[in-house]
Amino acid sequence: MRNLLAFISRYQFLFFYLIFLVISFTLLYNNNYYQRSKVVGVTNGITGKFNTYYENMTSFIDLKRSNDELAKENARLRALLNLKTRIIPDSLVRLENDLTEKYISARIISNSTQYRNNFFMIDKGYTSGIKKDMGVIAGNGVVGIIIDVSEHYSSGISVLHKDSRISGRIKKNDQLVNVSWDGVNYRLGDISHIPTHVSLLPGDTILTSGNSRIFPEGLMIGTVEYVDDEMENMFKKGKVRFTVDYNKISYVYVVDNPTRGELNRLQTKTPNE
Amino acid sequence: MNKKLIGNIARFVVLALAQVFIFNKVMVSGYVNPMVYVLFILMLPYDIKGFQLLLLAFLMGLTIDLFMHTPGMHALASVTLAFLRPGVIRLVGKKDDVEPWQYPNVRDSGAAWFLAYTVILVFLHHLMIFYLEVFRLDEFLRTFVKVLINTALSTLIIMMLQYLFYSRKVE
């Protein structure tokens, strides 16, 4: 025992380093986006406050552009309303039946585009009905998925993340593709899993497939920038230009799809792949 | 002595806030992402106890992690930086008679000494950060370019801050 203590005190610097190293690794390992600890949920409240102060100080800089964006969004929603025969008192509810998606509007208070893995934070939390795994969209495209919720704030992983994978659909021929991000240019995403027989040309539109029930179906992801004809395992690859400029988003909607839980339970029952 | 302690606390707060609200907002391209908060660890006193050095580095890393949604990543790199610090000080050439609370800076240590000390530690820190961030090897070369660019940039900013605040003799 005395020898052990003597050993520890001789190498105490190394010993303490190893302890901190293990703590850091545990944090790193347990906090990937699938299984995050409660600790981070609590700290969201603190960092959220700081980010709100910062956002409040700087948000007036792009007020004009935000206004334009919201006006456009209003026009689009008004046009949608006119299409419906029945007048719905709340425009955020898309259809009569309450099994359809609801949208919770929120403001981005922190956001990044320059890292390999980017995150954002919004100013609504579980008191506004936001839950983990909900999709986040902007007026003109997908933004990300919620991973942590505290009382008044939530954080999410952006489309610009190494683990982000969106199921997309080519508008003109309904073929399914995968959209991900390679970490270079925040305006360009990767399209993979394009079957070789499927025609895809620059300028074609990629929409969300809605298969995951995270994002609503038929939401714009972007337009094809170019297609690489070099094959990889019988699939082609390409680049898509995102419609959303992730560096500029300020107002978003969180998608609440009541059927998603049910769908997930069904999927876990059915053996997959 | 208390004045020196307050100086260190102030450096912690100012550098953490500057990192989160200034340097993390630098947007040139996907490659640029200077990490200047390590200056806090670089400027801790020479005679600091090993445990205190590691603990403070860990706390600094964790603070940055909370804002960047990367729990553990900056903490791990910062603690490693702190662990390597005494070795690098010996490598670059230790000052013989250090007074209590004396710390590395451009004025006392000399520009060449401080530059070598900073470049080595910042490079090792950035090497860990960027490879942990990607966590796979298929972007090996691109990540290495990122490490080099940001090491140069962080070092440049740190040296500029040094000359701004520590070039004149105070007291």
Cα dihedral A76, A56, A54, B70 in deg (nearest 10): -40
- Are A117 and A162 spatial neighbours (Cβ–Cβ below 8 Å)? yes
Mean pLDDT rounded to a whole number for chain B: 86
Distance from CA of A93 to the nearest CA of B (A): 32
3 state DSSP class of A220: strand
Is 90 exceeded by the pLDDT of residue A5?
no
Q: Per-residue pLDDT tens for A17-59?
A: 999 999 888 888 776 544 454 455 556 777 777 888 887 777 7
Q: How much is the pLDDT for A88?
A: 52
Of A29, A117, A186, the CB nearest to B133: A117
Q: How much is the pLDDT for B41?
A: 94
Q: How much is the pLDDT for A40?
A: 55
> Which residue on chain B is closest to A155 by alpha carbon?
B69
CA pair distance A163, B69, nearest whole angstrom? 14
Mean per-residue pLDDT, A177-199? 87
- Are A133 and A145 spatial neighbours (Cβ–Cβ below 8 Å)? yes
CA pair distance B140, A250, nearest whole angstrom? 33
Residue listed under structure tokens 């990543």 = B73
Tokens linked to A28: 């790193």
Q: Per-residue pLDDT tens for A86-133?
A: 555 555 555 555 566 778 888 888 888 888 888 899 988 889 889 888
A74 or A124, which is more confident: A124
Q: How much is the pLDDT for B127?
A: 93
Mean pLDDT rounded to a whole number for chain A: 80
Q: Cα A206 to chain center, whole Å?
A: 17
Q: How much is the pLDDT for A89?
A: 55
- Are B125 and B35 spatial neighbours (Cβ–Cβ below 8 Å)? yes
Of A12, A25, A247, the CB nearest to B76: A25
Q: Per-residue pLDDT tens for B96-138?
A: 677 778 888 888 888 889 999 999 999 999 999 888 887 766 6
